[in-house]
Amino acid sequence: MAETNDAVHKPRDCILFSTADWSEPYWTNKQHTARILAQRGWRVLYIESVGLRSPKLGSARDWKRIWRRLWSGLRSFVVGPPQREHGVWVLSPLMFPSKHHLPIVRKFNQAMLRWTLSRFAGAHRFSEPLVWTYHPFMLEGIAALDRGPLVYHCVDDLAAIPGVDVAAFERAEHELLARSEAVFTTAAALEARCSQHNGNTHFFANVADAAHFGRAMQPGVVPADLAAIPEPRIIYHGVLSDFKVDFQLILDAAKARPDWHWIFIGEEREGQRSAFVPLLSQLPNVHFLGYRSYEQLPDYLRGMNVGLLPTLLNDYTRSMFPMKFYEYLAAGLPVVSTPLDFAREPLAGLKVGGDLDAFLHGVSVQLERGRLNADEVRAAVGDNTWERRLEKMLAIIFHVEEADVERA
Model confidence pLDDT, tens digit, residues 324-340: 999 999 999 999 999 99
Same fold, 6-207+388-397 and 210-381: yes
- DSSP bridge pairs for 234: 262, 306
Contact assessment for residue 293 and residue 24, using Cβ atoms and an 8 Å cutoff: no
pLDDT of 2 over the 50 cut: no
**Percent residues over pLDDT 90 in the chain:** 63
- What does the pLDDT look like over 351-381, one tens digit per residue? 999 999 999 999 999 999 999 999 999 999 9
Architecture of domain 210-381: 3-Layer(aba) Sandwich (3.40)
What is the DSSP annotation of 65-133? HHHHHHHHHHHHHHH-PPEEETTEEEE------S-TTSHHHHHHHHHHHHHHHHHHHHHHT--SPEEEE
> What backbone torsions phi and psi does residue 340 show, to the nearest 5 degrees?
-70, 165
For residues 15 and 43, give the distance between their C-alpha atoms in angstroms, rounded to a whole number: 9
Whether the pLDDT of residue 163 is over 80: the answer is no
User: Is residue 405 scored above 70 in pLDDT?
Assistant: no
pLDDT at 404: 46
The whole-number average pLDDT for the span 117-126 is 92
pLDDT of 348 over the 90 cut: yes
CA distance 73 to 89: 13
pLDDT at 51 over 90: no
177: confidence class by pLDDT, cuts 50, 70, 90: very high
Query: 161 falls in which pLDDT band (50, 70, 90)?
Result: confident
Domain ranges of the chain: 6-207+388-397, 210-381
Q: Tell me: pLDDT of 403 over 50.
A: no
* pLDDT score, position 1: 36
Which of the two residues, 31 and 64, has the higher pLDDT score? 31
- At 32 the pLDDT is 95
What pLDDT, on the 0 to 100 scale, is given for residue 316?
Answer: 78
pLDDT (0 to 100) of residue 26: 84
pLDDT averaged over the chain?
88
CATH architecture of 6-207+388-397: 3-Layer(aba) Sandwich (3.40)
Express each pLDDT in 242-285 by its tens digit. 888 999 999 999 999 999 999 999 987 755 677 889 999 999 99
Instruction: Report the pLDDT value the prediction gives residue 399, as an integer from 0 to 100.
Output: 86
- Cα distance between residue 52 and residue 164, in whole Å: 6
Report how far Cα 376 is from the mean position of its chain's Cα atoms.
Answer: 25
Please indicate whether residue 280 or residue 400 has the higher confidence score (pLDDT).
280
Angle 356-369/247-256 helices, nearest 10 degrees?
A: 60
Of 14-28, 91-105, 192-206, which range is least confident?
91-105
Identify residue 145 by its one-letter amino acid code: L
